[in-house]
């Protein structure tokens, strides 16, 4: 696979396979902004189009899987990727297409899977029938799996009400084959937000103060893409996760306050600092 000069200031290539968010706060738009703001090159293979804003998702338009496969193929055969990051994979056919495409190309890129199931406003973004496909076709290939608590509950079949429960669920998910699992603890109601990263050999807890704000649309997409950017730049998963969490914290803290619902983050805060 072709590889760019890694001494270029923009080093690391991330191919994002995810749905488009017309409101710009989550999905492929958040992914591109994040990867770019952290100094990587972002390419895309769009899985679906959504009509949404800060108040919710109003419609979803499928992209033909033959076109999804073509998007992935032409990018990987020409530009290449150090990391492939997945987001909204809304049905089993999409999941199988991504898995089969990677296998047929013999692609060796690291895979970061954000198992997007529900939008911030509550709209389902993953068909129930696709959950088994996600478990059987893709999760075992992941370098990093990044579920939030509701997603981890569905995938692991465990109710999560504490950090200990997060740990148990993470261990169950590790048994499915990914190299590492980051369970995000934002759905717990503690004033301190705790995430837990598990690998086969170690465990690491990350904690930060909870920011009391409604402007959190796209936090999951943003965190997973920030981790993907770090891995593409050669960081170990623990360091990539730590940097990603700091990036997301600042993006929430400086959110522009747009919209009447769950507003978007300030993905460009790193660029703003550079411009001063």
Task: Report yes or no on 137 lying in a domain.
Answer: yes
Residue 103 in this model has a pLDDT that exceeds 60: yes
Contact of 120 with 259, CB cutoff 8 Å: no
54 carries an active-site annotation: no
Residue 79's pLDDT is 96
For residue 276, the model assigns a pLDDT of 46
| Mean per-residue pLDDT over the chain, rounded | 92
- From the candidates 19, 24, 87, 218, which is the catalytic residue? 218
DSSP string, 109-151: -EEEE----B-TTS-B-S-GGGHHHIIIIIGGG-SEE--BHHH
Q: What's the predicted TM-score (pTM) here? A: 0.93
Given the residues 101, 216, 222, 241, select the one marked as catalytic.
216
Q: How many domains does the chain have?
A: 1
**Contact at 8 Å (CB) between 261 and 121?**
yes
Is residue 249, in this structure, part of any structural domain at all? yes
Question: Region 35-48: what's the mean pLDDT?
Answer: 97
**Phi, psi torsion values for 45, nearest 5 degrees:** -135, 105
Residue 7 lies in a domain: no
CATH of the domain at 52: 3.40.1190.20
Q: Which two tokens stand for residue 184?
A: 């995000």
User: Among this protein's residues, is 220 annotated catalytic?
Assistant: yes
Residue 1 domain flag = no
Q: What's the rounded Cα separation, in Å, for the pair 22 and 119? A: 13
219 tagged catalytic:
yes
Is 216 among the catalytic positions? yes
Q: Is 192 noted as a catalytic residue in this protein?
A: no
Q: Is 8 domain-assigned?
A: no
Domain span holding position 160: 13-268
Span 150-178, pLDDT tens digits: 999 999 999 999 999 999 999 999 999 99
First CA to last CA distance, the chain = 38
């Amino acid at each position: 696979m072709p590889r760019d000069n890694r001494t270029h200031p923009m080093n690391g290539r991330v191919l994002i396979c995810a749905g488009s968010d017309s409101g710009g706060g989550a999905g492929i738009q958040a992914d591109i902004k994040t990867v770019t703001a952290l100094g990587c090159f972002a390419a895309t293979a769009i899985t679906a189009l959504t009509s949404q804003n800060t108040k919710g998702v109003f419609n979803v338009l499928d992209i033909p899987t033959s076109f999804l496969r073509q998007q992935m193929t032409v990018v990987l055969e020409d530009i290449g990727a150090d990391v492939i990051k997945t987001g909204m994979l809304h049905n089993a056919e999409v999941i199988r297409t991504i898995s089969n495409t990677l296998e047929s190309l013999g692609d060796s890129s690291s895979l970061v899977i954000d198992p997007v199931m529900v939008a911030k406003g509550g709209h389902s973004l993953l068909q129930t029938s696709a959950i088994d496909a996600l478990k059987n076709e893709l999760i075992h290939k992941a370098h990093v799996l990044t579920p939030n608590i509701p997603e981890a509950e569905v995938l692991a079949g465990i109710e999560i009400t504490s950090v200990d429960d997060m740990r148990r669920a993470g261990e169950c998910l590790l048994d499915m084959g990914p190299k590492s699992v980051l369970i995000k603890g934002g759905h717990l109601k503690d004033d301190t937000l705790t995430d837990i990263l598990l690998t086969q050999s170690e465990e690491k807890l990350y904690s930060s103060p909870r920011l009391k704000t409604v402007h959190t649309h796209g936090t999951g997409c943003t965190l997973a893409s920030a981790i993907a950017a770090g891995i593409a730049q050669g960081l170990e998963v623990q360091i990539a996760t730590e940097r990603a969490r700091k990036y997301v914290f600042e993006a929430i803290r400086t959110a522009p306050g747009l919209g009447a619902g769950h507003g978007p983050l300030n993905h460009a805060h790193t660029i703003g600092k550079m411009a001063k």
